[in-house]
Structure 1
Amino acid sequence: MLPFSPKTRRAGRLSWPRRRAAAVLGAAALLTTAACSGGVTASADQAEGRPAVLAAFYPLEWISVKAGGQDAAVTGLTQPGVEPHDLELTPRQIADIERADLIVYIKGVQPALDEAVMEHAAGKAFDAASVVTTVPATTEQRSAGDGVSYDPHLWLDPSRLATVVTKLGERLAAIDRPHADGYASRARTAAGELTALDAEFRRTLAGCTTRTMVTSHTAFGYLAERYNLRQVGISGLDPEAEPDPARIARVAATAREEGVTTIFTEELVSPKVAEVLAGEIGAKTAVLNPIESRPAQGDYLSAARANLSALRTALGCP
């Protein structure tokens, strides 16, 4: 068993009761903001004749831009470098949600957005999880209290994301019929890029020495299911949840049994637990990006290919 259980929560993360309190205060501030401001981004875009699209976080923003092109005004709700699970909506963003033509999100990732959509934009929301077959949450994910029955990280399977962008193109075409052909064409192009990426993953991961990947949290269930890998997460769906010592000990035992040589960390989450685990079993660490935030360089496709390169090395693929 490891000698201690390092904390991974970052200072400043709001608990759920404090989030609810913040939402109440935000709603009060919204009344003042709406009365004093001359308009918000969504209304300005609509005045230009373009549908205003709000995307919950980076991969959904990426496909929204891909499908929307010059015909839609796409705005991301989560700033680069911010863990999407930590999203706290500002009064201005709540006003934008009310006025937007479409909100692209995944129910279960961001509780604050889920609540805002339910209260202000239920008929204008596109839930990406509703157009693909989802992977059920694991026992560990459910026991961690994440509150969802499925794994929401569907964007890590390029084949599913191809389906999502296709359906998104259809939804945009229904909203803005004069530009329907453009949405359909751009969505087909993006789906083709994702299908090609899926083929790269299948070829590269077909003959690996080991098929077990140990990750900071269980964000990679879709990737594991699609490419016949086994994911062992140190924590559940919440990347900042503290794994107990017993859980860490079980992961360490599994890693030894499976001959795991690499423990994967993430850019937006403290690597301390993964580093302690790697030291305990004599493994190294490497970054596996859940692609929840905009990469410092490149885009979704380049980040996914960087993940593929990391997996190829860690799993001993030819």
Structure 2
Amino acid sequence: MLRRDRISAAPVALAAGVVAGALLLSACGGSSSATSADGRLNVVASFYPMQYLAEQIGGDHVKVTDLTAPGIEPHDLELTAKQVAAVQGAGAVVYLKGLQPTVDKAVAQAGGKHVVDAAALSPLVDHHLDEGTTDGGGQATHAGDPHIWLDPTRYATVAKGVGAELAKADPAHAADYQRNTDALVARLATLDQGFRSGLKGCTGTSFVTSHAAFGYLADHYGLQQIAINGVDPESEPTPARLAQIQQTAKANGVTTIFFETLVSPKLADSVAKDLNLKTAVLDPLEGVKDEQTDSYVTIMQQNLTNLRAALGCTA
């Protein structure tokens, strides 16, 4: 698995080659169209949270292509020439700048008219770790945290932007896009209220997670995220950071070490074993393994259930 912290000149060259290949593919008639064969708007989404918004808001009027296949960790995505061509020919693109460098490159090269950058709609915040994490070369990593979708209110802001852009790309169905946006924003407001009420009356407010993906969620609901790794799930904690985590976990009565679904749980298991604590899943929703049974809302509701158990919530 290619680590994001090792992306440097070589992947940039690779991305440039992929873009060149896509241009050749386009010249040979292989590029995607702004509309599908059945007349729907072709929308390219960079990874699952963006796909979910496009599908929920676009409904039957859009055909959504997710660049990140189910079960794939999105930070590691490398685009094929066919995928770059799809970005170039799309009727609309929904992505989050700063999360996937190869997607950022393809979007910039494409210069599309109808592009939604989630990070521009809900600006990223730095969630610094006290001791920092390293990029493998000893350098502290403090890039803006991209995980805005884990705060339902920020996600709702992005949803409104997606709805507005789809309406511009496909004015004939603008009323439907607005109606679908309003319905989704209402569901997200209900989810937000569920978290607010569900996290009352808890004995603890601190949780330990293997990946610093939950800073926005923690900020919004008055919790403290104690992260083993940084914003990149494959960054490496320093020995000092591990020692601090153990001390902080004991001091705050932490009962559970959370791990995620798309990255190995070995580090979380190791920390939990050292502290004689339980482990459980806290899903950052960067991807969904089974879209037939899971969705953004159902997984977030399960996250709430798992947080309540770990924090001793009884209300």
Query: Fold conserved (TM > 0.5)?
Result: yes
Pick 1 or 2: higher relative contact order, CA cutoff 8 A, min separation 6: 1
Does 1:63 find its partner at 2:53?
yes
* 2:196 alignment partner in structure 1: 202
* 2:294 alignment partner in structure 1: 298
CA RMSD for the aligned pairs?
2.1
SS at match of 1:235: coil
* 1:314 alignment partner in structure 2: 310
Asked if 2 retains the 8 angstrom alpha-carbon contact of 1:108 and 1:148, the reply is no
Matches within 5 A, 1:1-318: 10=1, 12-13=2-3, 15-17=6-8, 18-36=10-28, 38-40=29-31, 42-43=32-33, 45-46=35-36, 48-121=38-111, 123-139=113-129, 144=135, 149-296=143-290, 297-318=293-314
Q: CA deviation at 1:129?
A: 1.8
Please tell me the residue identity of whatever aligns with 2:302: A
Number of corresponding residues:
306
Structure 2 portions without partners, runs of 5+: none
Q: Single out whichever of 82-91 and 245-254 deviates more from structure 2.
A: 245-254
Please tell me the residue identity of whatever aligns with 1:309: T
Please tell me the residue identity of whatever aligns with 1:29: G
Q: Single out whichever of 247-256 and 126-135 deviates more from structure 2.
A: 126-135
SS at match of 1:150: coil
SS at match of 1:185: helix
Q: CA deviation at 1:139?
A: 4.8
Residues 298 and 97 (structure 1), Cα distance of their counterparts in 2 relative to 1, 3 Å cut:
same
SS at match of 1:313: helix
TM-score, normalization by structure 1: 0.89
Asked if 1 retains the 8 angstrom alpha-carbon contact of 2:160 and 2:181, the reply is yes
Please tell me the residue identity of whatever aligns with 1:87: L
Residues 31 and 169 (structure 1), Cα distance of their counterparts in 2 relative to 1, 3 Å cut:
closer
SS at match of 2:258: strand
Partners of 2:142 and 2:294 lie apart in 1 by 31
Partners of 2:247 and 2:170 lie apart in 1 by 55
Please tell me the residue identity of whatever aligns with 1:306: Q
Partners of 1:31 and 1:75 lie apart in 2 by 19
Q: CA deviation at 1:46?
A: 4.7
Asked if 2 retains the 8 angstrom alpha-carbon contact of 1:212 and 1:231, the reply is yes
Partners of 2:52 and 2:63 lie apart in 1 by 12
Q: CA deviation at 1:231?
A: 0.3
Partners of 2:14 and 2:110 lie apart in 1 by 17
Task: Please list the CA deviations of residues 6-54 of structure 1 after superposition, one character each: whole Å capped at 9, or x if unmatched.
Answer: xxxx4x5573133224224323433543344x434x3173554332111
Q: CA deviation at 1:169?
A: 0.9
Q: CA deviation at 1:116?
A: 1.5
Task: Please list the CA deviations of residues 152-186 of structure 1 after superposition, one character each: whole Å capped at 9, or x if unmatched.
Answer: 10010111111211221111111111110000001
Q: Single out whichever of 141-150 and 129-138 deviates more from structure 2.
A: 141-150
Residues 111 and 47 (structure 1), Cα distance of their counterparts in 2 relative to 1, 3 Å cut:
same
Partners of 1:21 and 1:256 lie apart in 2 by 47
TM-score, normalization by structure 2: 0.90
SS at match of 1:135: coil
Please tell me the residue identity of whatever aligns with 2:54: S
Asked if 1 retains the 8 angstrom alpha-carbon contact of 2:19 and 2:106, the reply is no
